Amino acid sequence: MSAPTSLPAMRLLALACLSACALAACSGNSDTSSDTTSSAVVVPAEPSGLGTVETADVPSVSAYVDTGYSNQRSNPCLVSLETNAGARVLKGFLDIWEPLTRKVDAGVTLSADTTNGCAAVTASAWSGVPGTSPDGSISSSSVHSANINYVISATGSRTTAQALAAYLDDRRQKGYSVSDGLGPLTSIWRSGAQQTTSITNVDPNVTTTSSTIASDSGNNLGVGSGSNSNLGLAVDFIGSLDSGSTEPAKRFYKYARPWRWSSSVSVVPALEGGKSTTPATDGGFPSGHTAEAWRDTLAMAYVVPQRFQELITRAMEMGENRILAGMHSPLDVMGGRIQATAVVAYNLASNLSYSATSPFFTSSTNYTAAKMQAAYDQAQNYLMAQTGSSDPLALNTYAHTVKTSDTSSADYDRFADYASNKTYYNTRLTYGFSKISANSGKAAVVPKGAEVLLATRLPYLTAAQRRVVLKTTEIDSGYPLASDDEGWGRLNLYAAADGYGAFNGDVAVSMDASLKGFNALDKWRNDISGAGKLSKLGTGTLRLTGANTYSGGTIVAAGTLAADSTSAFGTGDVFMKGGIIESAVAGALQIGGKYTQTAGVLKLVLSGASKGVVKVAGNAVIAGGDLNVGFSGYTPAVGDTLTVLTAANLAGTFKTISVAGFSKITTTYTSSGLTIRIDGV
Per residue in 550-581, pLDDT tens? 999 999 999 999 999 999 999 999 999 999 99
**Residue 226 C-beta-side C-alpha neighbours within 13 Å:** 3
Confidence band for 367, pLDDT divided at 50, 70 and 90: low
Yes or no: say if 679 and 649 are a contact pair by the CB < 8 Å rule: no
Confidence band for 39, pLDDT divided at 50, 70 and 90: low
Yes or no: say if 181 and 297 are a contact pair by the CB < 8 Å rule: yes
What are the sequence ranges of the domains in the chain? 10-49+500-680, 73-438
**Residue 18 C-beta-side C-alpha neighbours within 13 Å:** 10
Peptide linkage before 286 cis (omega within 30 of 0)? yes
The mean per-residue pLDDT over the stretch 444-464 comes to 96
* Residue 18 confidence (pLDDT): 38
- For the entire predicted model, the pTM comes to 0.93
Q: Which residues pair with 536 in a beta bridge?
A: 509, 556
Tell me the pLDDT tens digit for each residue of 397-426: 999 998 899 999 999 999 999 999 999 999
* Residue 639 confidence (pLDDT): 96
Confidence band for 26, pLDDT divided at 50, 70 and 90: very low
Confidence band for 348, pLDDT divided at 50, 70 and 90: confident
Query: Considering the chain, what is the average pLDDT of its residues?
Result: 92
Q: What is the dihedral of CA 595, 545, 518, 558, to 10 degrees?
A: 0
Q: How far is CA 310 from CA 297, 414, 592, 606, in A?
A: 9, 9, 34, 31
> DSSP assignment, residue 580?
E
Say if residue 366's pLDDT is above 80.
no
The mean per-residue pLDDT over the stretch 653-666 comes to 97
Tell me the pLDDT tens digit for each residue of 306-332: 999 999 999 999 999 999 999 999 999
The mean per-residue pLDDT over the stretch 320-349 comes to 96
- Single out the residue of 331, 393, 359 nearest to residue 95, CA to CA: 331
The span from the CA of 200 to the CA of 91, in Å, is 38
Tell me the pLDDT tens digit for each residue of 48-99: 999 999 999 999 999 999 999 999 999 999 999 999 999 999 999 999 999 9
Beta-carbon contacts of 370 under 8 Å, excluding residues fewer than 6 positions away, are: none
Which amino acid, one-letter code, is at 13?
L
> DSSP assignment, residue 476?
P
Tell me the percentage of the chain whose pLDDT exceeds 90.
87
User: Which of residues 451 and 14 earns the better pLDDT score?
Assistant: 451
Say if residue 20's pLDDT is above 50.
no
* Residue 19 confidence (pLDDT): 37
Sign of the C-alpha dihedral computed for residues 518, 523, 527 and 533 taken in this order: positive
Three-state secondary structure readout of 285-302:
CCCHHHHHHHHHHHHHHH
